[in-house]
Amino acid sequence: MLAPVPIWQPAYIGLGSNLEDPVRQVRCALQRLAQLPRTHLVLASPLYRSSPMGPIAQPDFVNAVAGVLTRCEPAVLLAGLRELESAFGRPSVRERWGPRVLDLDLLLYGRLQLHDPQLTLPHPGVVQRNFVLYPLADIAPELEVPGVGRVHELKRRVSAEGIQRLP
């Protein structure tokens, strides 16, 4: 008997870079997301420039959000994102809030709410980070963030300070 094929699930991925030509890094990463197994890139937001978070002096980030349909389980999709980060040169040991060639965050996976040591969904930073909410609102303003609210409503609650949509 064949194992059941998982149904397609919508997922949203945050992308960010502030090293080695960040615009190129994010654009290339979007292309590579389209090549993940059992995953289709459906939507990609415009790029945004944003101020870095945290206490470390570093260049501004370039951010975007991608919408995908996937048949991968959340942990498998996350593992694929980590492999993609490594392929772009991101070390496995990461400095919190430090500069990076590529950062990929699994923001949402369907309507799943998950609190696991390896993965929390929705991503805990979604509701407070303008560099996530602004690009996400460009591609999915009516999206319901499970347990939190609609993206366009959440966007209104965060400041636009430090973020700029790129041409």
32 in catalytic set: no
Enter the tokens of residue 124: 């805990």
Asked whether the beta carbons of 72 and 38 are under 8 A apart, the reply is yes
Catalytic residue of the set 103, 111, 150, 156: 103
Catalytic residue of the set 100, 111, 116, 157: 100
* Helix, strand, coil shares, percent, the chain, to 5: 25, 30, 45
How far is CA 86 from its chain centroid?
A: 16
90 in catalytic set: yes
105 in catalytic set: yes
C-alpha–C-alpha distance, residues 70 and 125, integer Å: 22
100 in catalytic set: yes
Contacts of 16 (CB under 8 A, 6+ apart): 26, 50, 61, 62, 63, 100, 102, 103, 105, 131
How far is CA 158 from its chain centroid?
A: 18
Catalytic residue of the set 27, 32, 71, 105: 105
Burial call 29-56: b when 16+ CB within 10 Å, e when fewer: bbebbeebeebebeebbebbbbebeeee
Catalytic residue of the set 90, 94, 116, 156: 90
Residues with a known catalytic role: 90, 100, 103, 105
